[in-house]
Amino acid sequence: MPTTQRVAYVRVSSAGQNLDRQLEAVGDADRTFREYQSGSTTSQQPVLREALDYVPEGDTLVVASIDRLARSLRDMLTIMEELETKGVTVDFRSQGLTIRPNRGDLTTRLILHIITAVAQSEREMIRERQAEGIAIAKQIPGKYPGRRRLLDPNQIYEARTRDLAGVPKAQIARDYGISRNTLYRYLRRGWPGEWARRRQELT
């Protein structure tokens, strides 16, 4: 009987970003595919395409989190259908979801679809709010362009919580329309009062 493999796929949006957290999440693997490119579809992620073509029947494709494999529900469904047809198991480490082929685990599949759809919806709402904010700012003389985007307290708390949960900093900064340097400044600040207590709970 052939030996099965754990094949890992990790992705960041550019070569300057760090894969260490994702590599730690996926753990030991027989082969690791590393992508340094942003993309909303599989066709825009050549290393993902290579990984999907490589992984054979009986193997497990390990991914740090759902958003690293696909950024839309449509693309996720396409990828999962391809892997199921090949007989490949998919393990999403951050969400604790393992999707096995031909097992009829409808509950697990439903959870995967819901999480993917919610993540896609959140990204679309963030982009919509950013577009609305820019449109309003453009109507105020001297406010746009060139004015630094600031986060309100709720957004700061959300950004810090997502960082603790393992969401890549580049993705967080992109979602809020700020630079990574600006995000780092928010993350370095203290966690006063209630935020400090919540941080202890999260860690």
Mean pLDDT value of segment 41-51: 85
**Residue 141 pLDDT more than 80?**
no
Per the model's pLDDT, the better-predicted residue between 192 and 129 turns out to be 129
pLDDT tens, 8-41? 999 987 766 788 999 999 999 999 999 988 766 6
Confidence of residue 1 (pLDDT cuts 50, 70, 90): very low
**Given CA atoms 75, 176, 199, 197 in this order, what sign does their dihedral have?**
negative
pLDDT tens-digit series, residues 66-105: 888 887 778 888 888 888 889 899 999 988 888 888 765 6
State the CB neighbour count (10 A cutoff) for residue 196: 10
Tokens matching residue 18: 């760090």
**Which superfamily is assigned to 6-108 in CATH?**
Resolvase, N-terminal catalytic domain (3.40.50.1390)
**pLDDT of 114 above 80:** no
List strands edge to edge, sheet with 60-63. 31-36, 6-12, 60-63, 89-92, 97-99
Q: What is d(CA 178, CA 203) in angstroms, rounded to the nearest whole number?
A: 25
Please name which of 133, 117, 6 lies closest in space to residue 66, comparing C-alpha atoms: 117
Which pLDDT score, from 0 to 100, does residue 96 have? 85
Task: Tell me what the mean pLDDT of segment 32-57 comes to.
Answer: 86
Mean pLDDT over 54-66 rounds to 91
In sequence order, which residues have a C-beta less than 8 Å from that of residue 25 and are 6 or more positions away?
64, 65, 93, 94, 166
What secondary structure does DSSP assign to 77-115, as a single string? HHHHHHHHHHT-EEEETTTTEEE-TTS--HHHHHHHHHH
Question: Is 0.95 topped by the overall pTM?
Answer: no
Instruction: Give yes or no on whether 6-108 and 140-203 have one common fold.
Output: no
Question: In the CATH scheme, what is the code of domain 140-203?
Answer: 1.10.10
Per residue, the 3-state secondary structure of 112-158, as one string, reads HHHHHHHHHHHHHHHHHHHHHHHHHHHCCCCCCCCCCCCCCHHHHHH
Length of the chain in terms of residues written: 203
pLDDT at 48: 93
Q: Indicate if 13 belongs to the active site.
A: yes
- Domain borders along the chain are 6-108, 140-203
Give 150-170 pLDDT, tens digit per residue.
787 778 878 888 888 788 888
Active-site hit among 13, 38, 40, 72: 13
